[in-house]
């Protein structure tokens, strides 16, 4: 077996090891590859940036669990940083039970940067089982679906929630979604049925499915995976809403090198394949 033939038989452990090194090294020694902001990320950023303290609140639904944390959690932090910096009121909730933990973690992290009052600047509704019934019910009456918030406080007693009855009183819904239930249900029921404005942040696996809805304007902006999160972080930084190192941006060097390596492996594999086929 010569060199070209051996390209089709690279041991998988070698591939794993090289990818691990290619991903780990840029995390330790950053290269600083610039982040190019895509129009669909900018669109969501602009939608939030167009809101003020007098605007209706933004509803952020954390429809993900710790498995999607590297991609979606930075989006949550970046969107909340932007909202808090602009004094836009935020309503948080989750269609995934584990999403509540993500929200609590985010609120704890941001409490060190912002002094915001619970019930006035933000509210956390928690998780409710039912998906379609929840999203449809919120279109009629949010307090009917969530009579109390995550901490057991009646919704009617929270200042932020007093003028909020249904989606008409929400300026923008942002779903950070890892699968079902998630963006599909928000688009199906909240956007299509009630005409709510919807921004979507998804894991990269789902991103290709969302593009058609961005094209038609059914979705107001899309954040696609870690790349989308890093773009949003970049925009938040450029506007001066926050500074420091952000996790998604930190990972983009590693992401780029990882992709480069996979492309090299694909090319090498194909070279070996075509050589072997020709030889036969």
In the complex, the smallest distance separating the C-beta of residue 94 from another protein, rounded to whole angstroms, is 11
Smallest gap from Cβ 27 to another protein, in A, equals 5
Positions 154 through 213 that interact with another protein (CB under 8 A): 187-189, 191-193, 203-205, 207-208, 212-213
Whichever of 1 and 28 has its CB closer to another protein, that residue is 28
**For the chain, what is the HEC assignment?**
CCHHHHHHHCCHHHHHHHHHHHHHHHHHCCCCCCCCCCHHHHHHHHHHHCCCCCCCCEEEEEECCHHHHHHHHHHHHHHHHHHHHCCCCEEEEECCCCHHHHHHHHHHHHCCCCCCCECCCEEEEEECCCCHHHHHHHHHCHHHHCCECCCCCEHHHCHHHCCCCCHHHCCEEEEEECCCCCHHHHHHHHHCCCCCCEEEEECHHHHHHHHHHHHCCCCCCEEEHHHHHHHHHHHHHHCCCCCCCCHHHHHHHHHHHHHHHHHHHHHHHHHHHHHHHHHC
Q: How far is the CB of 83 from another protein (least distance, A)?
A: 24
Q: Does 119 bind another protein (CB under 8 A)?
A: no
Does residue 33 belong to the site contacting another protein (CB under 8 A)?
Answer: no
Sites for another protein among residues 222-261 (CB under 8 A): 224-227, 245, 247, 250-251, 254-255, 258-259
Between 260 and 271, name the residue whose CB sits nearer to another protein: 260
Cis peptide before 181 (omega within 30 of 0): yes
Instruction: Please say which residue, 77 or 90, places its beta carbon nearer to another protein.
Output: 77
Does position 69 interact with another protein (CB under 8 A)? The reply is yes
Q: How far is the CB of 187 from another protein (least distance, A)?
A: 6
- Closest to another protein by CB, 39 or 50: 39
Query: How big is the site for another protein, counted in residues (CB under 8 A)?
Result: 48
**Binding-site ranges for another protein (CB under 8 A):** 13, 16, 19-20, 23-24, 27-28, 67, 69-71, 97, 127-129, 132, 136, 187-189, 191-193, 203-205, 207-208, 212-213, 215-218, 224-227, 245, 247, 250-251, 254-255, 258-259, 262
């Amino acid at each position: 077996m010569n060199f070209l033939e051996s390209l089709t038989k690279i041991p998988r452990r070698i591939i794993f090891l090289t990818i691990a090194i290619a991903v780990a090294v840029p995390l330790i020694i950053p290269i600083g590859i610039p982040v190019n902001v895509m129009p669909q990320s900018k669109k969501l950023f602009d939608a939030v940036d167009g809101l003020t303290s007098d605007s209706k609140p933004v509803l952020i639904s954390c429809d993900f669990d710790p498995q999607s944390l590297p991609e979606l959690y930075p989006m949550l932090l970046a969107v909340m940083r932007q909202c808090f910096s602009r004094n836009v009121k935020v309503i948080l909730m989750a269609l995934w039970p584990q999403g509540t933990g993500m929200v609590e973690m985010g609120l704890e992290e941001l409490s060190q940067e912002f002094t915001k009052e619970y019930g006035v600047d933000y509210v956390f509704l928690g998780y409710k089982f039912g998906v379609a019934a929840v999203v449809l019910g919120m279109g009629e009456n949010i307090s009917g679906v969530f009579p109390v918030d995550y901490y057991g406080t009646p919704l009617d007693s929270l200042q932020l929630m007093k003028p909020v009855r249904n989606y008409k009183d929400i300026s923008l819904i942002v779903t950070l979604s890892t699968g079902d239930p998630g963006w599909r249900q928000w688009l199906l029921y909240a956007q299509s049925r009630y005409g709510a404005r919807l921004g979507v942040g998804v894991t990269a696996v789902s991103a290709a499915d969302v593009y058609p809805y961005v094209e038609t304007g059914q979705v107001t902006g899309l954040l696609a995976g870690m790349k989308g999160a890093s773009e949003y972080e970049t925009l938040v930084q450029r506007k001066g809403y926050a500074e420091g190192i952000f996790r998604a941006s930190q990972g983009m060097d590693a992401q780029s090198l990882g992709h480069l390596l996979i492309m090299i492996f694909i090319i090498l594999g194909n070279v070996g394949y075509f050589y072997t086929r020709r030889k036969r």
